[in-house]
Amino acid sequence: MNFLSLILVVTVLQFLNAYNVRCDEKSSTIRPVEISMEVNIRGNNLTMSYKIEPLPNSYTHLGEGPHWDVETQSLYYVDIEAAKILRYDYQENKVYHSQVEGIELAAFIVPVEGQKNKFVVGAGRSVVVVTWDGVSETSKVDRVLFDVQQDEQFKVNRFNDGKADPRGRLFAGTMRYIGDEFKDRWGELYKYEKGGKVSVVKSDVGISNGLAWNEKLKKFYYIDTTDYEVKEYDYDFENGVASNPKVVFDLRKPNPKDNLLPDGLTIDSDGNLYVATFNGHTIYKVNPSNGKVLLEIKFPCKHITSSAWGGPNLDILFVTTSAKFEGDAPAGTTYKITGLGAKGLPMAKVQL
């Protein structure tokens, strides 16, 4: 039987240590919960079991932008409205939190190629270069890399998701964060290239979100949350140009109020997409060639913001969530998922 035609049946067998997760926002202490699930793939005699576990002390009010750094074996991510950057040290099994001085928002964090302890961070309508040793409770802005949308109209805009493409170009987009971003599509997607050139990739954006690339197929994937879909573009890796958009995954519902909100995005080494849903408790594993859902990964909190592959073998899926609009634990927990039977590719750093 062709794999694309397999029927996936997900059975929750048991919840281990099934007590409530409590999160104290001041201490950011999370009591561990393990969730064990068995996934049965009918017609191929395959059984896969995966486990979802919280990272210790990983709470964020609005977690986003996970980036796995192979060199340091660390997961970097942000707490947007707290202007914090975080690092999960895989060897220590410990999360470090740092307040970035002088900024009010921290939308994403990406390490800088060839510069130890240097990162680009989305800060309001600016992208800044930050120095952080990965341990200290405070970190400093070195300089502003570039600004966007400086007109008075856009003072309610901010950067949202951002990543480097496999050639080290930074792609990052904006959104209206005060007001109605579904009505006022004031966001744009930008590209920063080594040497300082900044250009607009796409305008008429509501909430600029997930980004992923497939170098083998020469594709770029992009999510504008307010479109309720994932778009695929042909991508010229030598010149960093995206063209010919088409929808490969549609999350619209017959009743608009039931629409799922696609958020962050990652890709595995087989080219499958992992689409986080901000209001859906779920990450969808999707085959972009036909839009089929291969797996639904369920979480005990509602707002799933993004994910990234990491670990020594790049086979652990790290997942950020948000407590904003939900509040109670385990919302805001950062998770790791093992046993998915898939792996990712090394994430690129930004070239300045």
Phi-psi category of residue 95: left, alpha or beta, with phi > 0 → left and psi -120 to 50 → alpha: beta
C-alpha pair distances (Å), 298 with each of 25, 65, 104: 24, 20, 32
Kindly give the parts of the chain with pLDDT less than 70.
1-47
Three-state secondary structure of 184-242: CCCEEEEEEECCCEEEEEEEEECEEEEEEEECCCCEEEEEEHHHCEEEEEEEECCCCEE
pLDDT for res 46: 58
Please tell me the distance from the alpha carbon of residue 58 to that of residue 72, in angstroms, as a whole number. Answer: 18
114 CB-near residues (< 8 Å, 6+ apart): 351
Contact 130, 91 (CB under 8 A): no
The predicted structure's pLDDT at residue 329? 78
Determine the pLDDT at residue 257.
79
pLDDT of residue 254: 82
CB 31 within 8 A of CB 19: yes
In angstroms, the CA 23 to CA 238 distance is 46
Question: Which among 263, 268, 315, 328 is annotated as catalytic?
Answer: 263
pLDDT of residue 290: 97
What's the burial of 93, exposed, middle or buried (CB within 10 Å: 0-12/13-18/19+)? exposed
Residue pLDDT, tens place only, 139-176: 999 999 999 999 999 999 999 999 999 999 999 999 99
**HSE, side-chain direction, 13 A CA sphere, residue 58:** 31
Tell me, what's the pLDDT at 40?
43
Q: What is the DSSP letter of 55?
A: P
Q: Which two tokens stand for residue 252?
A: 């619209």
Three-state DSSP state, 279: coil
- Known binding site: residues? 64, 158, 160, 209, 263
What is the per-residue pLDDT for 31?
Answer: 42
- Residue in this structure with the two tokens 């932008």, named with its chain if needed: 65
pLDDT number for residue 98: 98
The confidence score (pLDDT) of residue 255 equals 83
- How far is the C-alpha of 349 from the C-alpha of 128, rounded, in Å? 15
Inter-CA distances, 175 with 100, 130, 207, 305, 322, Å: 21, 22, 5, 15, 17
Question: CA–CA distance from 267 to each of 142, 283, 346 (Å)?
Answer: 32, 12, 11
| Annotated binding residues for a divalent metal cation | 64, 209, 263
Tens digits of residue pLDDT in 17-63: 333 333 333 333 444 444 434 444 343 455 678 999 999 999 999 99
For residue 16, what are the contacts with CB-CB under 8 A and spacing of at least 6? 33, 34, 35, 36
308 neighbors 282 (Cβ within 8 angstroms): no
Tell me 270's DSSP state.
Answer: T
Is 263 an annotated catalytic residue?
Answer: yes
Beta-strand pair 138-147/94-100: parallel
Distance of CA 40 to the CA centre of its chain: 27
Q: What is the pLDDT of residue 45?
A: 52
Q: Which domains does the chain have, with CATH numbers?
A: 53-338 (2.120.10.30)
